[in-house]
Amino acid sequence: MKIVEQVQELRSTLSEYRQAGLSVGFVPTMGNLHAGHLALVDAAHEKCDKVVVSIFVNPMQFAADEDFDTYPITPAEDEKALIEHNTALLYRPRRQDIFLSDLSKQTRVEVPELSEILCGLSRPHFFSGVATVVNTLFNRVQPDIAYFGKKDYQQFLVIRKMIKDLAMNLEVVGIETVRLNNGLAMSSRNNYLSSQEINQAAGLYRVLQHVARICQNNSHTYNEIEGLGIRELKEIGFAIDYLSIRRQSDLRAPERTDQNLIVLAAVWLGKTRLIDNLEFSLASS
């Protein structure tokens, strides 16, 4: 595996791939890699000749009171895992290679509507920060296909809309969430949880499954079902940011005629914020 920090070396290596007629799959990450990230790498291998992974902890997507300074950084373990998964190139830019010194003067990418709901309500800075950096990485790597985990479903749709609106010449693929045996979605922030909290956190997915089953039984309004789900989460011990039933396609509130739905939730367990979702379909009436 080749490791590069400078954009000139990145472009030189990618040019060699292009001249050889090789396709490029790209997995952007913030490091502290786990089985969920590595599933993206494996998926990229299925369709692409070369797999490029970036590791960059993006300060633009953290608010002042969030965990940027304590976000787990594990370079040696990340390199070992990527080598084991046959990654061709690891791009690890420094902050000064991506941003101006003053972030307030940095050009930003805004994706309206999708960025303003759900996680965007409590983290208004987040999706602009993600879209800006992912756009920069796309411009540098110019992949044929980019891979994102669907645990961050809203982020996946934001990136997909950015690609469409800016007429970017690449495909984006969402990969299903990888979970622990107890159902908890893999996340770098799981490192903040104690063993007891990991068991407790698994209740989030169980509640999402219950909400989906109630929707499929078609016996309550969506507002009533959301209320039931929120009460169940509180009983487990979560503080609630939101639990919401939406359409899969655009995250708008569903009509009764909509068949393909998703329930999404963001909660706090102690000082750790967790998100998860579950896609499901209703039987045609």
Q: Tell me, what's the pLDDT at 154? A: 99
Q: Which of 34, 37, 45, 85 is catalytic?
A: 37
Residue 276 has pLDDT above 80, yes or no: yes
Provide the residue ranges of all domains of the chain, joining segments of one domain with +.
2-175, 188-278
State yes or no: is 37 an active-site residue.
yes
Q: Tell me, what's the pLDDT at 199? A: 96
pLDDT tens column, 53-98: 999 998 888 877 788 887 889 999 999 999 999 999 999 999 888 9
Q: Tell me, what's the pLDDT at 285? A: 55
Please tell me the CATH code under which domain 2-175 is placed. 3.40.50.620
Within its chain, how far is the Cα of 182 from the centroid?
A: 21
The answer to whether residues 39 and 174 touch, using CB atoms and an 8 Å cutoff, is no
Distance CA 1, CA 175 (A): 23
Alpha helix positions (H), the chain: 7-19, 35-47, 75-84, 95-98, 119-122, 126-141, 153-165, 195-201, 203-217, 222-236
- For the chain, what percent of residues have pLDDT higher than 70? 99
Residue 38 has pLDDT above 90, yes or no: yes
What is the gyration radius of the CA atoms in the chain, in angstroms?
Answer: 19
pLDDT tens column, 150-193: 999 999 999 999 999 999 999 999 999 999 999 999 999 999 99
Please tell me the CATH code under which domain 188-278 is placed. 3.30.1300.10
Mean pLDDT, residues 263-285 taken together: 94
